[in-house]
Amino acid sequence: MSEKLYLGVSKINITPEVGCCLYGYAPDVFSKSVHDDLTAIAFYFKSGDTEALLLSLSLCSIKTELSDEIASLIEEKYGVPKGNCIIHCIHNHSGPNVSGDVGWGDVDRKYYNGILLPNLMKVIGEAKSSPVAVRMAVATGESFIGINRRQLFPDNRAHLGQNP
């Protein structure tokens, strides 16, 4: 008989202070208000002795070195192996810079150390403390709401694509 699968889920606010420099714009574009809060959702999985963690962040992207650092801290604090941690961002251009990509400015360390990191550790602890038995299924589907912004035509011209 296979091991049962357990899942713990928790969500936390990771919104910076109004006035933070926004990532994905020209330099020196700052937030003027908050329309929707930024969040981190932790999904903690356990089956037998195996633990895994998925973190979903409403940020644009995260620097590899920072995601490695976070995964190491998770392993140290919560015992979830670094290799079993996935940190994913939804690609939001209305949040702080934790990417540090060339040409987009430096990582906002004040935000990372003061808001993001402590809240990630908190939300992971909450998710890990409350797992329940779950069943997993797989399904497929189609979505026709996207647009190919650079649709390539047979004559090698590219145009703004249309929704199907």
pLDDT given at position 148:
65
pLDDT given at position 24:
79
pLDDT given at position 86:
98
Question: How many CB atoms neighbour CB 5 within 10 A?
Answer: 16
How far is 158 from 109, CA to CA, in rounded Å? 39
Q: Where are the alpha helices (DSSP H) in 79-137?
A: 109-111, 117-128
Q: Which is higher by pLDDT, 104 or 87?
A: 87
Q: How is residue 140 written in tokens? A: 């497929």
Q: Which is higher by pLDDT, 143 or 16?
A: 16
pLDDT (tens digit per residue) in 101-136: 766 778 889 999 999 999 999 999 999 999 999 999
pLDDT given at position 103:
65
pLDDT given at position 45:
98
Mean pLDDT of the chain: 90
pLDDT (tens digit per residue) in 147-163: 667 777 788 888 776 66
Q: How is residue 125 written in tokens? A: 């602890």
How far is 123 from 10, CA to CA, in rounded Å? 6
pLDDT (tens digit per residue) in 20-38: 988 878 778 889 999 999 9
Mean pLDDT across the stretch 48-66? 95
How far is 43 from 30, CA to CA, in rounded Å? 31
Question: How many CB atoms neighbour CB 147 within 10 A?
Answer: 10
Radius of gyration, CA atoms only, the chain: 19
Q: Which is higher by pLDDT, 98 or 159?
A: 98
With 0-12 CB in 10 A as exposed, 13-18 as middle and 19+ as buried, what is 157?
Answer: exposed
Q: Where are the alpha helices (DSSP H) in 7-142?
A: 64-78, 109-111, 117-128
pLDDT given at position 164:
56
